[in-house]
Chain A
Amino acid sequence: MKAVRYYGKEDVRVETVPDPEILNPHDAIVKVTASAICGSDLHIYDGFIPTMEKGDILGHEFMGEVVDVGRETTRLKVGDRVVVPFTIACGQCFYCKEGLWSLCDNSNPNAWMLEKLYGYSGSALFGYSHMYGGYPGGQAQFVRVPFADVGPLKVPDSLSDEQVLFLSDIFPTGYMAAENCNIKPGDTVAVWGCGPVGQFAIKSAYLLGAERVIAIDRFPERLALAASQGNAEIIDYTSTDVYNELRAKTGGQGPDACIDAVGLEAHGTTLDAWYDRVKTSTYMATDRSHALRQAIEVCRKGGTVSIPGVYGGWLDKFPLGAAFGKGLTLKMGQTHMHRYLAPLLERIERGEIDPSFVITHRVRLDEAPAMYRTFRNKQDSCIKVVMRPQETTS
């Protein structure tokens, strides 16, 4: 089969490799019909994620058709059309039973690596480094899915691939970010980053009852999408002072909740953003957290800062004093995917949201290397890339 493989910083290649096989009794093999490139794949592409190895298959947003199942897989059948959550959960451990699916104890065979880094290990992820399990990802024609009775969600034929594909990550991730904001009627929510997760956070905040959503970015096409599709008020941080503007828009009080949908590669125009750039580029710090600092500073007293953006290492100049002084609630973490798949599918079926609005590029799998570059450079107004692995070059 063909697969997108990692070979180093800014080096991904499409190669032909052996098809995956059933390894465990609860496995399934899925023939991938649609697979997306995620913003977090760009952290790998940019070399921010350790324990990647040459030849690893990338991709964690995918869906397709079940073509084989392990002997103890009972719920899924060959021929089922499924969307697969990017976190891998056993469904049986304490964390899974508590609904904290992305903290599953039993899915990561390399848990010791994350234990060294974080004290404890969360769940494994598809296609996202060996410390997260080393599972081959879904930017491929076929993929092995462990615990197939627990994760994959069957989807009805009445919905297209593009309508349900983003149940695999970014829609639930944006939704949980908004849910973590504990939104009450009349609330104003500010969202840093208008990439795909930010776009879904904006829509989800409205679905959960926010009165106003204010979106912050610097790319005109992303701000335009947030305004047109998300119905958000927009702030371009390159031309506007974000702190003052947010205060001005909220009667001086600040947003009730702030969502950092940017994560560890934040850009900015202020002094602290340049300080971050210098420190990370000289390996004296690992993560740039300008967006998060700003969110904490401007959030209203007693508000919530919700962090769907990915962080991996250590933050510098973290304003914990401001967070404490204002009694903020901070909520974060990998999305507990399995909670959200079924209820969000229902929202799609009811027509409350059509997630395909974020797609800007539709390509074959062979075009992955070029699309990684385009997406990373935010060229060609690229917001979301969907690949069709079964469509091959002539």
Chain B
Amino acid sequence: MAHVIRRDIDPSLSDIESWTAVGGATALLLLGLSRRNSQGLWLAALATPLMYRGVTGEWPEFLTRYLPSDDPRDALSNDRGMHVLESAQVLKPIGEVYAFWRQLENLPRFMAHLDRVTQYDDSGLSHWVARGPGGLRVEWDAQIINEVENQVIGWESLPGSDVVTAGSVNFDSARNGRATNITLHMRLEPPAGRAGELVAAIFGRRPAQDVREDLRRLKQLLEAGELPKVVQPSEVMA
């Protein structure tokens, strides 16, 4: 059911770097073992991740999980930050649903945290403004990185943004073309410091439920043509 955008990770190390890592790890290992005491064993153990990196070109996953990344290119393919995967079926043909979503200015009509999305031009660049409780406000630029009409839209924040975020939405035809299954995969990595607190305050309280409600509102807009509203009288009149 869920399609997730995956990009092959470029081998990040040159041959020289690899051999340096393997060499360094081997030296550390030998040095540690030659000491024949507990400190030496620790030293040898520390060499293992380096050896792993030398051989595979990547740090072991148990380390990278905790390393901050400022590279949005692998935004959806790693598991740092908040990941949300949610689905909904809309009883409208795929063309209509896709076109509504692709007009990114529509997103704030059903995504509760978004205040405004503005597309700059046809370059796929857009400016996003999110708002939270107490007038909190976060802005970032994003670009569409993957687009197949009536199938998928993928986007991610530009390097240097306050927010590292990426999302992909897949559209699949259902019920003999009467309906569209939407699968939304979003990732959000709050930055360090005050900006991170802002992002967490806006997005972080219950992200999975928030995205589910976002898709429910999309369904209500496209199917029923309005969002259900309720007001119980709070006051008593004399």
Q: Which A residues lie at the B interface, using CB under 8 A?
A: 3, 15-18, 20, 23-26, 53, 55-57, 72, 90-94, 97, 105-112, 124, 133-136, 146-147
Contacts and interface: CB of A to CB of B under 8 A. Distances in A.
Contact of B238 (A16, A93, A107): A16
Given A92-B225, A94-B91, A124-B228, A17 B233 contact: yes
Contact of A136 (B212, B219, B232, B235): B232
Contact of A23 (B212, B229, B235): B229
Most B CB contacts (10 A, CB to CB) among A56, A105, A111, A112 go to: A105
Nearest to A135: B230
A26 B219 contact: no
Contacts of B229: 23-24, 109, 146
B103 to A, nearest CB: 21
A2 B20 CA distance: 83
Given A17-B237, A57-B233, A133 B228 contact: yes
B231 A23 contact: yes
A94 B89 contact: yes
Contact of A93 (B223, B234, B235): B223
Contacts of B212: 112
Contacts of B175: 94
Contacts of B225: 25-26, 72, 92
A93 B236 contact: no
B197 interface: no
Nearest to B236: A15
B213 interface: yes
A16 B226 contact: no
Given A17-B237, A111-B216, A26 B226 contact: yes
A23 B230 CA distance: 8
A110 B230 CA distance: 10
Contact of A53 (B231, B232, B238): B232
B151 interface: no
9 contacts: A17-B235, A23-B229, A90-B224, A97-B91, A106-B223, A107-B224, A135-B230, A146-B228, A147-B224
B64 interface: no
B237 A105 contact: no
A93 B237 contact: no
Interface in B181-238: 209, 212-213, 216, 219-220, 223-238
**Main secondary structure on B side of the interface with A:** loop
Of all A-B residue pairs in the complex, the 10 with the closest CB atoms, nearest first, are A90-B224, A17-B233, A106-B224, A109-B228, A92-B223, A23-B229, A16-B237, A106-B220, A134-B230, A24-B226
Given A16-B238, A97-B91, A106-B220, A55 B230 contact: no
B224 A18 contact: no
B179 interface: yes
A92 B89 CA distance: 13
A81 B142 CA distance: 53
Contacts of A111: 216
B208 to A, nearest CB: 11
A212 B42 CA distance: 87
A55 B237 CA distance: 12
Most B CB contacts (10 A, CB to CB) among A20, A94, A136 go to: A94
Most A CB contacts (10 A, CB to CB) among B91, B223, B228 go to: B228
B223 to A, nearest CB: 4
B219 A93 contact: yes
A134 B205 CA distance: 24
A88 B87 CA distance: 24
A25 B235 contact: no
Contacts of A91: 224
A97 B213 CA distance: 22
Contact of B236 (A16, A105, A108): A16
B136 to A, nearest CB: 23
A86 to B, nearest CB: 16
A336 to B, nearest CB: 17
Contact of A55 (B209, B223, B226, B234): B234
Contacts of B230: 109-110, 133-136
A380 to B, nearest CB: 30
Contacts of B91: 92-94, 97
Nearest to A104: B224
Interface in B142-159: none
